[in-house]
Structure 1
Amino acid sequence: MITAALLFAGVAALINITPGLDTLLVFRASATHGKAAGVAAALGILTGCLGWGIATAAGLSALLAASRLAYDALRIAGAVYLIWLGTSALWRSWRDRASPQAQVDVEPPITQGRWAAYRAGVATNLLNPKAGVFYMSLIPQFIPPGAPLWSTTLLFTGIDLVELALWYWFVSGAAAALGERLRSPRFRRWLERVSGVAFLGFAANLLTGRH
C-alpha cells in the first residue's frame, strides 16, 4: 500500500502543477484581491475535489463515463459558466479602459470577498466533468489488488488534496506578491484580458472535448 501511495503521489503531483483552469482561478483571485481571496478560491477547488473523490469511492463518478448524456450536461453547464467568467472579465477590461475614472477597486464577481472566491472555486471544479473523469480513471489504477476500495480511494483523494493545497498556497503567495507590486489599472486590465481569453479557451475545450 505504501508503494502504491507513493507512486500515486508522484503522478498526481506532476498533474497538479500543470497549469490549468483551477491554477488560473487561484492566481487571478490572489493577484487582484490578495492572498486571502486566492486561498478562499483554493479551498473551493479542494472542496470540489473532495466531492469528486467521495463520488469516485461511491462509484457515482462512473456515471460520467457510462452516460454520454450526464457527461454532456455537466460539460455544457461548465462551458456556459466559463463563458460567463470570460466575457465578464473582457467586459471589465474594456470598461476600465474606456472609462479611466472607473472604480478600479471594485472587484470582479469571482473575487468579491472570500465567500465569492470560494464559490467560484467550487463551481469551476464541480462543473468540470474532466475533473470527475480524472479521479475515476487515475485512482483505480493505483489501488492494490484486494485493498478496500472505499478507504483506499479516500486515502488517495487525501493525498491529492494535500498536494493541491501546498501548490495553491505557493501560487496564491506568489500571485499576491506580484499583485502588490503591480497593482495598477493597467495591470488589472491586462490580467482581465488574459484571464478572459483563457476562460473562453477552457470553455471551448470543454465544448469540443470528446468523452
Structure 2
Amino acid sequence: MDTPLLLFLGVSAIVIMTPGQDTALSLRNTMAGGRSAGIATAAGVATGQLIWAVSAALGLVAILAAADTLFAAIKYAGAAYLIFLGIQSLKAALRGTVQKAGRDDLGAIDCLSTTKAFTQGIVSNLGNPKMAIFFASLLPQFVPQEAPAFAAMMGLGVVFCAMTLLWLSFYAFCVTWAGQFLQRPKVRRYVDGITGMALIGLGLRVSLLDK
C-alpha cells in the first residue's frame, strides 16, 4: 500500500471518528429504533456522502460553491432539519416517555423504521454543504497525477463512504450492547436531552457555515 493511500486512510479515519452530526444522529436513531435503525442511518449517511463524492468528481461542487443562493438554501435547510430532530429528542427527554413497540435488541423501543432512519441519514448528510466542500478539497490531494481524475476520486470517495458505514454501524452495535442500561428511564431521558442539544447545536453551526 503506497504512502498517499495510507495518508488518505489516516486522515479519513480521523474525520470519520470525530463526533459530529452523523454520530449524534446515529446515537439518536439507534436509541429510537434499535440496531437495525442505527445501521440504516449509517447507510443513509454513507449514501449522502457518495452523492457528494460523485458531485465532487464531476465538478458539480464548484457550481454549488459559486452559487451563493443554492449554497445558502442547502445550508439552511440542513440546519433546520437538524434542529427539528434535536427538538424532537428534547421533547422526548422532557416528557420522559418512550412509545413501546415490542422488544428489539434495545428492549422497549420507539417506532422508528429502518426506512425512516435511512432517509434521516441521507437528508442530514445532503443538508450539510460542508461535506461537498470537504470532498472537493480532500479527494484531489490524493489523486495520482498519472491516474484518471474521475475514476481515482470516485475510488477514494467509495473508500471514505465504506469507512463511514463501518464506523457508524460499529457505533450502533456498541449502543445496542449497552441497551439495557441506556433504556433505563432516567438514563434514556439524559441521553435524549444530550443528543437533542447536540443536534440543535450542530444545526446552528451548520447555519453559520461559510464557504
Q: TM-score, normalised by structure 1?
A: 0.89
CA deviations on 1:130-157 (whole Å, 9 max, x unpaired) are 1111111110111122321110011101
Cα distance in 2 between the residues matched to 1:160 and 1:143: 14
The answer to whether the 8 Å contact 1:42/1:121 transfers is yes
Alignment match, 1:204: 204
Alpha-carbon distance between aligned partners in 1 of 2:153 and 2:140, rounded to the nearest angstrom: 8
2:143/2:152 contact within 8 Å kept? yes
Report the Cα distance in structure 2 between the residues aligned to 1:150 and 1:77, rounded to whole angstroms.
29
Matching residue's letter, 2:130: K
Q: Is the 2:43–2:118 contact (alpha carbons within 8 Å) kept by the matching residues of 1? A: yes
Which range is displaced more, 184-193 or 145-154? 184-193
Is the 1:46–1:161 contact (alpha carbons within 8 Å) kept by the matching residues of 2? yes
Paired AA for residue 27 in structure 2: F
Paired position in structure 1 for 2:17: 17
CA distance in 2, matches of 1:44, 1:180: 26
What's the counterpart of residue 168 of structure 1? 168
**Amino acid aligned to 2:54:** I
Deviation at 1:50, TM superposition (A): 0.8
Q: 1:16-69 CA deviation, whole Å, 9 max, x = no partner?
A: 111111011112222343211110100011110111111111111122322222
* Cross-structure match for 1:128: 128
Distance 1:153 1:204 in 2: 31
| C-alpha RMSD over aligned residues | 1.8
Compared with structure 1, are the counterparts of its residues 159 and 131 closer, same or farther at alpha carbon in structure 2 (3 Å cutoff)?
same
Does the Cα contact within 8 Å between 2:32 and 2:112 map onto a contact in 1? Answer: no
Q: Is the 8 A contact 1:44 1:120 kept in 2?
A: yes
Shift of 1:15: 0.9
In structure 2, stretches of 5+ residues that fail to align are 102-108
**Deviations 1:101-123 (CA, angstroms, capped at 9, x unpaired):** x5542666xx6111111111011
SS of 2:151's equivalent in the other structure is helix
Identity across matched positions, percent: 34
Contact 2:92 2:98 in 1 (8 A): no
Cα distance in 2 for partners of 1:34, 1:61 equals: 35
Q: Distance in 2 between matches of 1:205 and 1:193?
A: 18
- Structure 1 residue 184 corresponds to structure 2 residue 179: no
Q: Counterpart of 1:38?
A: 38
SS in structure 1 of the partner of residue 161 of structure 2: helix
Partner of 2:159: 159
2:196 & 2:51 partners in 1: Cα distance?
A: 27
Q: Does the CA contact (< 8 Å) of 1:38 and 1:117 recur in 2?
A: yes
Correspondence for 2:100 among 94, 99, 105: 105
For the residue of structure 2 that corresponds to 1:62, the secondary structure is helix
CA distance in 1, matches of 2:21, 2:37: 16
CA distance in 1, matches of 2:31, 2:92: 16
1:67 is aligned to 67
Provide the C-alpha distance between the structure 2 equivalents of 1:103 and 1:159, rounded to a whole number of angstroms: 37
Question: Aligned letter for 1:33?
Answer: G
State which drifts further: 191-200 or 173-182.
173-182
Conserved in 2, the CA contact under 8 Å of 1:143 and 1:152? yes
Structure 1: any 5+ residue segments left out of the alignment?
97-101
| Structure 1 residue 93: Cα displacement | 1.8
**Structure 1 CA distance, aligned partners of 2:155 and 2:90?**
40
